Amino acid sequence: MISFKSFFMRTIVFQVMAILVLWGILLGWVKYLYYPDAEKYLDNQQRIVAQGIANILDKTDVNNNYSDIIKDIEIMYIDSIKNGMEDEIDYRPLFVVFDRNNQMLYASPAQDKPLVLPPSVLSGTISYANVKWHIAGSWSEKQKFRVIVGESFDNRTTIFGNPAESTAIPLLVILAAIIVTLLITAYFSLRPLRQIARTISDRKPGNLSPINVRAQYQEIRPVVLEINKLMTRIDAANQREKRFMADAAHELRTPIAAVLAQLHLLTQVADKTERQEIIGDMQLGLDRAASLSRQLIDLAKLESEDFPLKIEAVDIYAEISKCIAQHVPYAMEKNVELSLEGSENVVIDTDRHSLVTIFTNLLENAIKYAPPGSRIEANIRSLSPLGCYITLRDNGPGVSREYQKRLFERFYRVPGVQQTGSGLGLAIAKNLADKIGAQLRITEGLDERGIGFVIDLPENYLIPTEN
- Extract long-range pairs of 320-328: CB within 8 Å, 24+ residues apart: 320/359, 320/378, 320/380, 320/390, 323/356, 323/359, 323/360, 323/363, 324/363, 324/378, 327/360, 327/363, 327/364, 327/367
H helix count then E strand count, the chain:
14, 12
Host H or E run for residue 147: strand 145-152
Whole-angstrom distance, CA of residue 169 vs CA of residue 187 = 28
Assess contact for 293 and 252: CB atoms under 8 A. Answer: yes
- CA distances for 303 relative to 247, 428, 464, angstroms: 14, 9, 13
Same topology between domain 218-302 and domain 311-458 = no
Under CATH, which architecture does the 311-458 domain have?
2-Layer Sandwich (3.30)
Q: Which CATH architecture has domain 218-302?
A: Orthogonal Bundle (1.10)
Q: Give 7-164's CATH code, choosing from 3.40.50.300, 3.30.1180.20, 3.10.180.10, 3.30.450.20.
A: 3.30.450.20
Are the C-beta atoms of 140 and 56 separated by less than 8 Å? no
Please answer whether residues 292 and 424 qualify as being in contact, where contact means their C-beta atoms are separated by less than 8 angstroms: yes
If one counts every other C-beta atom within 10 angstroms of the C-beta of residue 399, the result is 17
Rounded distance, CA 375 to CA 337, Å? 5
Q: What is the pLDDT along the chain (467 residues), one digit of tens a residue?
A: 445 566 667 777 787 788 788 878 877 887 788 778 888 888 898 899 889 888 888 887 655 567 777 888 888 888 888 776 666 778 888 889 888 888 888 888 877 777 888 888 889 998 888 889 999 999 998 888 899 999 988 888 877 766 556 666 777 788 788 878 878 887 787 788 788 888 888 888 778 888 888 877 777 788 888 888 888 888 887 776 676 666 666 556 656 777 777 777 777 777 778 778 878 777 776 766 666 666 666 666 665 556 677 888 989 899 999 989 988 888 888 898 999 998 888 898 888 888 888 898 889 888 888 888 899 999 999 888 888 989 999 988 888 888 888 888 876 777 766 566 566 778 888 888 888 888 898 999 888 888 999 999 888 765 555 44
- The domain ranges of the chain are 7-164, 218-302, 311-458
Q: For the CA atoms of 348, 352, 356, 357, what is the dihedral angle to 10 degrees?
A: -130
